[in-house]
Amino acid sequence: MKELVPLSKASKILGVTTKTLRNWDEAGKIKVVRTSGNHRRVPIEEIERIAGRKQASRTKTLVYCRCSTQKQQENLERQVGRVLEQCSRMNWIAELYKDIGSGLNENRKDFRRLLKRLRDEDVARVVVEYKDRIARYGFETFRHYCESHGVEVVILNDSVKKEFEEEMTEDIISLVASYSARMYGRRGGRKKS
């Protein structure tokens, strides 16, 4: 008799959600067995088949680099060089995404492109030098998003950077300036009595 596992366990093994497994079942992409209580169970052979196919098809590495200001352009280029060099050492096929902008700004052009690209089946991992290159706050949400699409997040240097206070100060100033502009811009549009 073949070994069967519940959807929750199969989803963890495959790195997808249980909803995805139910969708695959309905689309005929995965063979499941129904229990007498009508619960889905996935044969180990099916998990191995899909895991092998997923592993073989996921070959791309997305590299993301960011700096806060134009003045840091040289730092950005050095960051790109270090990360691409590491990818080369690991024999990873890398696609580069880079931005100049605050880690608090979620509307960075290449960051948005990266988020869309993560959904593709050929993406194996995202590589960043420091986790704050992705976002100043909310990195764990980003990691969860990646993992829900079967994408690994690789942080090359998990220690805190020396210029942390400097960049944090720039981000706070940028944030205050942005909200001030919105507030005063809104106020300027009102008619005076």
- Digitized pLDDT (tens) for each residue of the chain, 193 residues in all: 578 889 888 888 888 888 989 999 998 888 899 999 999 999 888 888 887 765 557 789 999 999 988 899 999 999 999 999 999 999 888 999 999 988 878 889 999 999 999 888 888 899 999 888 988 778 889 999 998 888 899 999 876 555 667 667 777 877 787 777 777 776 555 555 5
Element holding 60 (H helix, E strand): strand 60-67
Helix/strand/coil for 58: coil
Residue 175: its pLDDT value, please?
76
Residue 188: its pLDDT value, please?
56
* This model's pTM is above 0.75: no
Cα distance between residue 87 and residue 47, in whole Å = 29
Residue 116: its pLDDT value, please?
93
Q: From the candidates 11, 36, 68, 88, which is the catalytic residue?
A: 68
Residue 1: its pLDDT value, please?
55
Say whether 68 is catalytic. Answer: yes
Alpha helices in the chain (DSSP H): 7-14, 18-27, 44-57, 73-89, 109-117, 139-148, 164-188
Cα distance between residue 165 and residue 137, in whole Å = 15
Residue 79: its pLDDT value, please?
93
